[in-house]
Structure 1
């Protein structure tokens, strides 16, 4: 029941991610969805829903949720099914508490920080996205032994892919972040700035692609599918004028997503 509850959260929040996770092997698919369900609930606390519900003390709510999540693996029963599902996965996959702590540190920044320097944005991306890649990697290799040298290479790829995903989201969610949430991850978004961000994303995606062939069979197809989907988004973002990002969110049509998923299945087998 808890696993199904986590799956329902993901199905409602992200069609692209939900499609990509279908290409993961069964047990791994469960663990990645359990992780992301917890992440989505944390996002809800800081991204406006708690405010719309007139929650009096949102920072306290986030702190309470962080405590619940970080203590969850130590307990074997939880009344919240998403927390219960996450706790089972965290124990199975030996998630590092430092990674979870870094994630919540970035979530807290969304409550009080509206502008970022290059250094502070790098720290934010690490906590909001790169550590999620590292937690996914821990799930991929929960039952697989690999040398420290190889795992370090895989970690670089995982962090790069997480960073790419976050930067893509910064661009396509630019209007909502600035207009509704009052966040300026990039001080200026003109065509020159956009081109520099696109170049950075493509560098991250290239680093991620380099390690995808080394991933276990259970993960390779799903990760390749997610990478291809975000490459498509990157290409579409590159084609539009920066001013367009101030007006609308760039999307990948459903038919195109299906084609990319089929390409991932074929590419992973090769």
Structure 2
């Protein structure tokens, strides 16, 4: 196939399209929130989420369902990490999802301090079956808080000539929003995680205590969202409020009632509210420590 002047632009665009397909197939809520992002940041967030999703799928069942041994699954995760690091360094990958992420990482300043804990948490899923408080916190940092920090790098730096460090207040908000999202997912999926994957992420924490922590983190994140760049606030508000709604429904749901979800009509109202520029929902107006 002969080369042409637009060859790399075509490849870059195809990689972004591949990442967008991953987002649309794996998370309707996330895909919905992404539509509220400005054009400056939307492709980058999709590029990030697609890589995170692929890594998560390697350790969460599809690879095992394809017949891979635990050792082969670990090798596959290691290979994905290595390919990601090499692609970020050289600016190209034969893996379209990795290529899309690498372009985002290079532009927005996503680096080893983000990738190390993320892949470390993914690796923990292959060996850790029951978490205590310390391992829970370390896992949440690597699997969720760091994802929030990578999103923040995108929000602050997409389109800049050179990336800069985000303000400390936004860093704290990004971490706490990521932690809240992950703890909500742990509560929603607790039965599936234990029965299908043999994992207990909450290590015996009482449900109400976890929900209290989630609400504090969501309230803390809500104070940071208005300080984000304008083309990011609506999408982050929509994601925040969708998870606040899930937390409320988890609080009200009796044990054993099945996986809690937000009905489509309610989901649409939450996204519409965010699209109109309304501030993120807060349960407690007081302290957010």
TM-score in terms of structure 2 length: 0.87
Q: Show the 5 A alignment for 1:27-66.
A: 27-56=40-69, 57-66=72-81
Which residue matches 1:116?
131
Name the structure 2 match of 1:196: 209
Q: For the residues of structure 1 that align with 2:278 and 2:47, how far apart are their CA atoms?
A: 24
**Alignment match of 2:145 (pick from 130, 135, 158):** 130
Runs of 4+ in 1 over 4 A off after TM superposition: 143-148
Q: 2:200 aligns with which of 157, 177, 184?
A: 184
Structure with bigger gyration radius:
2
- Describe the SS at the equivalent of 1:267: coil
Contact 2:130 2:203 in 1 (8 A): yes
Counterpart CA distance in 2 for 1:269 and 1:147 is 26
Report the counterpart of residue 172 of structure 1 in structure 2.
188
Provide the TM-score with structure 1 as the length reference: 0.93
Pairs within 5 Å for 1:177-256: 177-188=193-204, 193-244=206-257, 248-256=258-266
Unaligned runs of 5+ residues in structure 2 are 1-13, 281-289
Number of aligned residue pairs? 263
Kept in 1: contact 2:184–2:247 (CA 8 A) = yes
Q: Does the CA contact (< 8 Å) of 1:213 and 1:268 recur in 2?
A: no
Q: Structure 1: which 5+ runs fail to align? A: none
Find the aligned partners of 2:116 and 2:163 in 1 and give their Cα distance.
25
Note closer, same or farther for the CA distance 1:27–1:119 as it changes in structure 2 (3 Å cut): same
More helix by share: 1
Q: Which residue of 1 aligns with 2:154?
A: 139
Which of 160, 177, 185 aligns to 1:161? It is 177
Report SS of the residue matched to 1:111: coil
- Partner residue in 1 for 2:90: 75
Find the aligned partners of 1:139 and 1:87 in 2 and give their Cα distance: 12
